[in-house]
Homo-oligomer: A and B are copies of this chain.
Amino acid sequence: MSDLLESALNPQSVAVIGASENIHKIGGRPIYYMRRHGFGGRIYPINPSREEVQGLRSYASLAALPEAPDLAMVIVGGEKAVDAVSQCASRGVKSVVVVASGFGETGEEGRAAQRAMVDTARAAGMRLYGPNTQGLANFGTGALAGFSTMFVEVPPADGPVGIVSQSGGMSAMAYGLLRGRGLGVRHVHATGNEADVTVSDLAWAVAHDPDVKLLLLYLENVADPELLARTAAYARERDLPIIAVKAGRSESGQKAASSHTGSLANEDRTVDAFFRHHGIWRVRDPHAQALAAEAYLKGWRPEGRRLVIISNSGASCVMGADASEELGLPLAELAPATRADVASRLPGFATAVNPIDITAALLSNSGLFGDVLPAVAQDPAADLFFINIPVAGAGYDVEAFARDAAAFERSTGKPVVVAAWQDTVAAPFRAHGVPTYGNENDALGTLAQLVSHTALMRKAIVPWPAAPAPALPAGTGRFLNEAQSLGLLAEAGVPVVAHRLCRSAKEAADALLAVGAPAVVKACSGDVPHKSEHGLVALNVGSAEEVAALFDRQWARLGALGAAQEGVIVAAMRRGQHEFMVGARVDPVFGPVVVVGDGGKYVEALQDIAVLVPPFAAADVADALRTLRIAPLLDGVRGDPPLDIDALAQVVVAVGRLIVDARGSIASIDVNPVLVAPRGQGAVVLDALVERGG
C-alpha cells in the first residue's frame, strides 16, 4: 500500500476544519459518517465557536490539536480555505481535502488562489485533494472525509469495488447504483479540480488495495497518463479490471468540462486508443459501469465468444440472434448430438437449434430449463449462455428456473446471464446470484464487453527496444524538406520511393534515367510543405527534356514564393493497389501517437483512420486496419489480390518507433501516401513530411 493510501485513505486521525453540529451540513456529515461507519481513528472537529461538535470535543484551531492529524478536511471557503491549507502545512498534516468550490473552475483569479494552495502544500510535502471536491470515503476503515448525500440514501456495505472520480456527483452515483444492485463498495473518492492529486494517483493507490476486484474511474481529462498507464499495467498483472468513463467526448462536452472542473480538452480518439492500449474499458456513464460490475465480480474471464440463447419466447430468440450478430457474439453451432438431446427434452413444436425456443410450454413444464441446460452444457461449442424470459409470472416456477440456472453456472463455470424485466422474475435469479438485466441488450452487451475486455487485459504490451535518437539534418525550419523526410524514414528502415534530389536541370534530366520513366517531378523546400497547392508537383513525366524544363519552372517558382530553393526531386512513378496514410504526432498529453488510415486526397474529410499508442506490434496494426471502413478491401475484392498488410504494418511500426526514438526532436510525421501492393509485394512511401519538435 502506498504512502498516499496510508495517510489519506487509511488515516489514524482526521481533523474537520469548519465542523458542524448539523449532520445535514457539509461540515457535519463527515464526522457523522465516520462515527456511524466504524472509523477507528481520532476525529478532531475544528470550530472556534463551539466546545463540542456531535458529542466530540471541538478545537479552536489546528494548532490547538494534541497531534498533527494525518488528514484534514477544509470545509470553509474562499480566503479561509487558503488560510486553512497554510495552517495544515504548518501543522504537519499529511493530506488535506479542500471541499470548497470557486477556484480553478471559475477563472484566472480562482486559478491563482488554487496555485497558491498547491504551492503551500507541496512546499510542506503535504498532498492536496480538490479543491471543489466531495472528498474521500473508505468503507474498509470508515475513514469518510466526504459529505455525499448518497451515503445517507443508500446504506454502505464494504465490498470489492473501488470508485475514483473527478466528479463527486458521479462517484456518488456509481456508488448508489452499485449498492442498489446489492454490490459492496469500499472506495468512493472524488478529486475535483485535481490541483495536486489526480484520478491517476488515487487509482494507483486503490489498485493496490488487495480486496478491490473492480476499479471504476470517472475522468473529465486524463491529467497524468503515465501514472494511469502504470496503474493499468499493475492492475492487469493482478487481474483487476478497470472500467472508465471519460466525459467531454465532444466539443460542447469539453467546454462544459472546463467550467466544471477546469479540465483541459483531450483529443477523444486518442483517449480511446490510450485506454484500449492499456486494457482499460471505456463506457459512456456510471450506469454502464454499474451494469457490468456484477459479471466482472463473478470472476468470469471468458475467452470464447460463442453464445447460446435460451428463451421461452420465439420473438426474443429472433431479437437475441439479431443482437448477438451485432455484438460479435456468434451463435454457437450445437453438435447434432446436443441438438438431438435438447430436442428429446422439448415439446415437438419447440426449437432445438440455437437460439433454443422452449416456448410457452414452460408454463406447463417448469422443469424445461433445468432439463435443457445440462444438455447444452456438454457441447464444447458453447462459451456463453443467455437466458431470456420476457414473459412469466403466475403459473411459472421461476424459483426453479433460477435454481437450475445458478446450479448450471456453478457446475460449468461458464458465464450465464439472464434478461427479465419483471421484478418477480428477476428477483429469484438475483437471489441465486445470477447476473440479471432488464433487457437483452444490457445482458448481451455485458457479455460482449466482458469477452472483449478480457482479451484486452490479457494482451501483452511488448516494449520497443531502446534505440539512439535519429539524427535530424541541421536546420531551424519547422519542417524537413521532402528529401530529408524520406531520408529519415529510409534510415528508419522504411521503404521509400526511388528518387534523386537535383540541384540543376542537368542533374534532373540524368535522374530520369536513374529512376526510370515516367517520373514525378516535384519541388523540394522545407518552406513549402504542401507542394501541390502551389502547382509544384508534375506527374507522369516521360522525357529528359520535360524533366529539365520542369526543373527550371519549379526552381523559379520556389524563388518567386520566397522559399528556400533546396532542390527538385525526380522520383519514380509508382502504382500500387491502394494508398494508405500513416501519421504520427506527439500529443501534448499522451505523448507519441500513431495514426493509420485510408490515404489520398480526402484523408481529413473522410477520417477513415485508426489511432495506435506505442509500443505496438505489427499484429496490432493489422487489427487496427480491420476497424477501418475500407477494411473489406484488405482481403481483395472484385478480382483484386489481397493487400500486403504485413508490409504496411511494418511501415506503421517503423514510423511509430521513429517518433518515439526521437524523444521530442520530431513533433509529427505525415506519410501520405504509402502505396501498398498485393500480398508479398511490399509497400512503399511516396511522400513524407517530418516536423521538428520544440
Contacts and interface: CB of A to CB of B under 8 A. Distances in A.
Contacts of A152: 393-394
Contacts of A38: none
A36 interface: no
A249 B153 CA distance: 42
Contact of A318 (B247, B325, B357): B247
A394 B153 contact: yes
Interface in A106-162: 106, 148-150, 152-153
Given A153-B393, A253-B318, A318-B248, A440 B285 contact: yes
Contacts of A248: 318, 322
Contacts of A287: 421, 438-439, 441
A547 to B, nearest CB: 23
Nearest to A324: B252
Contacts of A325: 250-253
A441 B150 CA distance: 22
A439 B168 CA distance: 17
A177 interface: yes
Interface in A316-365: 316-322, 324-326, 331, 348-349, 351, 353, 355, 357, 359-360, 363
Contacts of A316: 169-170
Nearest to A220: B318
Interface string A239-272: 0000001011111110111011100000000000
Contacts of A148: 391
B315 A167 contact: yes
A314 interface: yes
B260 A173 contact: no
A648 to B, nearest CB: 18
Contact of A632 (B165, B322, B353, B605): B605
Given A101-B359, A150-B391, A391-B148, A637 B602 contact: yes
A260 B315 contact: yes
A262 to B, nearest CB: 10
A421 B173 contact: yes
A440 B285 CA distance: 9
A418 B55 CA distance: 41
Contacts of A374: none
Contacts of A533: 639
A251 B601 CA distance: 36
B326 A638 contact: no
B251 A315 contact: no
Contacts of A220: 315, 318
A543 interface: no
A317 B637 CA distance: 46
A637 to B, nearest CB: 4
Contact of A322 (B166, B247, B360): B247
A148 B390 CA distance: 12
A388 to B, nearest CB: 10
A605 B633 contact: yes
A317 to B, nearest CB: 5
A322 B271 CA distance: 15
Contacts of A320: 256
Interface string A19-33: 000001000000000
Contact of A633 (B169, B176, B285, B602): B602
A540 B149 CA distance: 76
Query: How large, as a class, is the contact surface on chain A?
Result: 35 or more
Interface in A438-460: 438-441
A408 interface: no
Contacts of A90: none
A395 interface: yes
Nearest to A394: B152
Given A318-B247, A349-B102, A638 B313 contact: no
A605 B638 contact: yes
A439 B251 CA distance: 21
A327 to B, nearest CB: 10
A256 B353 CA distance: 9
Contacts of A601: 638
A597 B167 CA distance: 45
Contacts of A324: 252
Nearest to A247: B318
A318 B602 CA distance: 32
Interface in A637-664: 637-639
A422 interface: yes
A604 interface: yes
Given A253-B322, A440-B285, A391 B172 contact: yes
Given A315-B218, A316-B169, A391 B321 contact: no
B396 A149 contact: yes
A101 B360 CA distance: 10
A517 interface: no
A284 B319 CA distance: 8
A390 B286 CA distance: 10
A294 interface: no
Contacts of A253: 318-319, 321-322, 325
A404 interface: no
B391 A355 contact: no
Contacts of A627: none
A68 B132 CA distance: 77
A256 B172 CA distance: 43
A167 B314 contact: yes
Most buried by B among A106, A314, A630, A639: A314
Nearest to A192: B314
Given A250-B325, A421-B173, A256 B391 contact: no
Given A170-B316, A284-B319, 18 more contacts: A102-B349, A106-B348, A149-B395, A152-B393, A153-B394, A165-B315, A166-B315, A169-B313, A172-B391, A218-B315, A245-B319, A247-B315, A249-B322, A253-B321, A253-B322, A256-B321, A256-B357, A260-B318
27 contacts: A105-B349, A149-B392, A152-B393, A152-B394, A153-B422, A169-B391, A173-B421, A247-B315, A249-B326, A252-B321, A252-B324, A252-B325, A253-B322, A256-B318, A256-B351, A256-B355, A256-B357, A259-B314, A259-B353, A261-B314, A533-B639, A602-B633, A604-B637, A605-B632, A605-B633, A606-B633, A629-B629
Closest 9 CB pairs of A and B: A260-B314, A167-B315, A169-B313, A253-B322, A250-B325, A153-B393, A252-B321, A605-B637, A605-B632
